[in-house]
Structure 1
Amino acid sequence: MTIDQPGLALALRSVIPVWVLVVIGAVLVGVFTPAAQFGKWIPIVLAAAILVTFSVQLATEEKVGFVNRVMASLGGSVVILAAATAILAVIALAPK
């Protein structure tokens, strides 16, 4: 895919909102759940990201690049949640 193809704009418009929602979900987990519960809620945020990803991608009605957009969306979501898990683990282990 090159920059002059319209597929890149569609990919950015359909992938980045999912990443933003995952960041918001991770922040909400960090703010509203006790330290012992982080491990229970992060997978729920990932499950929500999967549902939102497929909803957004199916709403675009564009077949070309579907797998690449889904992979980018979910791959980025996993990386974001892995970083959030590491940060929340450090916070949980910090002395009170």
Structure 2
Amino acid sequence: MTESGTPMDIAARLGALRIETPSWAYGNSGTRFKVFAQPGVPRDPYEKIADAAQVHAFTGAAPTVALHIPWDRVDDYADLARHARGLGVGIGAINSNVF
């Protein structure tokens, strides 16, 4: 396989790039020793998906968000999926954290 590397080829490849963002990326950051609270941080999975939809709207490259259980647990996952679709994104991988 050969690659020409022309700007048009690179732009087309970048345009086709799809990145799944993790839900935890929309929360407070920190370490196991301290969490650094920030104003405007999503309070639940619905708000995390809304933030993910904004990222996708700005970039066009992040159409799905990976949920992390138990932090993103909800009573109605079908409703959460409808919420995501309504905002133009989808739910991707489901990651479980087992301790």
Q: Sort the TM-score into its range (normalised by shorter chain).
A: 0.3 to 0.5
Tell me the TM-score normalised to structure 2 length. Answer: 0.37
The structure, 1 or 2, with the larger RCO (C-alpha pairs under 8 Å, 6+ apart) is 1
Tell me the TM-score normalised to structure 1 length. Answer: 0.38
Structure (1 or 2) with the larger CA radius of gyration: 2
Which structure: greater helix fraction? 1
